[in-house]
C-alpha cells in the first residue's frame, strides 16, 4: 500500500478535468465518457483518456428497480472486507440491466495515472415523480468487462425540494474522495441507477422513471494527479 502526502489540500498538483456524458441511444448497451476537447482526447497530462464514438441521442430513460446489476456491495459487510483484507467490490458491467441503469464508458487510459481527489457528477434529469434517488458508481474496468468499484455516492431528492415532475432539473453528486493508481488499458465506467440497499430511498414507486440528458449537459469531473 502506497502513501501519498500533500502539503496542502486541495493539492496544487491535482487538476480536475471535465468530461461529457454521451447517451447510449437505442442500439448500444453503454453510453460514453467523452473528452470535451481535442487536447484531452490526445492523452495529455490533463486527462489520458482517449475519445470513443458515441450515439447522437439526447437522453436515456432509466426506471426504478431494486436490482440493476450495479452495486456498491453489501452494506457494512463489504466495507469491512475492503478495509480488513482489501477485498474489491466487483460487478460484470456487461450484465447490467439497461432498463434500470445507465453505464457510461471511457476508452482505455493511455498511460499509468493517479486518480486522486473527489470525482463530481452533474446530471441534468427529467423525473416523472417529485421524489427519487440516483446512485452514482465509478468503476475501473478490465478487458473482460469486470468493473472494480472505486467510489460511489447517492443523491436523494425529496418531495419538499420542489422538483416538478416532467420538468428538467440538475443534480450535483460529490462522490467519496479516493486516491488510486490506474494502469494503461483500464477503462473507467460511471454507472447510474435508482436504488441501493445502503441508503434509504426517497421513492420506491414501481412506475418511477428518470430521463438523463447528455451531449453537453450531464458531466463527470475527474481529479488527476499531474506528473
Q: What does the pLDDT look like over 34-77, one tens digit per residue?
A: 987 655 543 443 444 444 444 446 899 999 999 999 998 764 44
Candidate ranges 25-29, 35-39, 53-57, 114-118; pick with highest mean pLDDT? 114-118
Rounded to 5 degrees, what angle do the CA atoms 153, 122, 80 make? 10
pLDDT band with cut points at 50, 70 and 90 for residue 162: very high
What is the average per-residue pLDDT within 82-108?
Answer: 85
Contact of 118 with 182, CB cutoff 8 Å: no
> Side-chain half-sphere of 62: how many Cα atoms within 13 Å?
30
84 or 66, which is more confident?
66
Q: What percent of the chain has pLDDT over 90?
A: 71
What value does the mean pLDDT take over residues 74-95? Answer: 64
What confidence tens digit (pLDDT) does each residue in 165-218 have? Answer: 999 999 999 999 999 999 999 999 999 999 999 899 999 999 999 999 998 899
* Cα-to-chain-centroid distance, residue 83: 22
Confidence of residue 86 (pLDDT cuts 50, 70, 90): low
Binning pLDDT at 50, 70 and 90, where does residue 18 land? very high
pLDDT (average), residues 106-118: 94
Average pLDDT in the 86-97 region? Answer: 88
pLDDT band at 3 (very low <50, low <70, confident <90, very high): confident
Mean pLDDT estimate for the chain: 86
Spatial contact of 80 and 73, defined as CB atoms under 8 Å apart: no
The four Cα atoms 211, 175, 215, 223 give a dihedral, to 10 degrees, of 180
Amino acid at each position: 500500500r502506497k502513501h501519498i502526502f500533500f502539503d496542502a489540500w486541495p493539492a496544487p498538483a491535482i487538476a480536475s478535468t471535465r468530461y461529457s456524458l454521451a447517451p447510449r441511444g437505442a442500439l448500444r448497451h453503454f453510453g460514453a465518457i467523452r473528452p470535451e476537447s481535442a487536447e484531452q482526447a490526445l492523452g495529455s497530462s490533463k486527462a489520458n483518456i482517449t475519445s470513443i464514438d458515441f450515439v447522437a441521442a439526447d437522453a436515456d430513460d432509466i426506471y426504478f428497480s431494486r436490482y440493476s446489476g450495479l452495486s456498491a456491495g453489501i452494506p457494512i459487510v463489504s466495507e469491512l472486507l475492503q478495509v480488513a483484507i482489501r477485498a474489491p467490490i466487483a460487478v460484470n458491467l456487461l450484465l447490467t440491466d439497461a432498463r434500470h441503469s445507465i453505464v457510461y464508458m471511457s476508452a482505455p487510459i493511455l498511460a499509468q495515472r493517479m486518480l486522486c481527489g473527489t470525482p463530481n457528477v452533474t446530471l441534468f434529469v427529467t423525473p416523472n415523480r417529485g421524489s427519487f434517488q440516483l446512485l452514482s458508481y465509478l468503476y475501473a474496468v478490465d478487458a473482460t468487462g469486470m468493473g472494480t468499484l472505486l467510489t460511489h455516492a447517492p443523491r436523494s431528492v425529496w418531495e419538499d425540494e420542489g422538483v416538478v415532475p416532467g420538468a428538467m432539473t440538475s443534480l450535483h453528486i460529490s462522490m467519496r474522495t479516493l486516491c488510486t493508481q490506474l494502469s494503461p488499458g483500464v477503462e473507467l465506467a460511471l454507472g447510474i441507477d435508482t436504488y441501493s440497499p445502503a441508503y434509504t430511498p426517497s421513492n420506491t414507486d414501481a412506475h418511477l422513471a428518470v430521463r438523463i440528458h447528455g451531449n453537453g449537459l450531464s458531466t463527470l469531473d475527474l481529479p488527476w494527479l499531474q506528473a
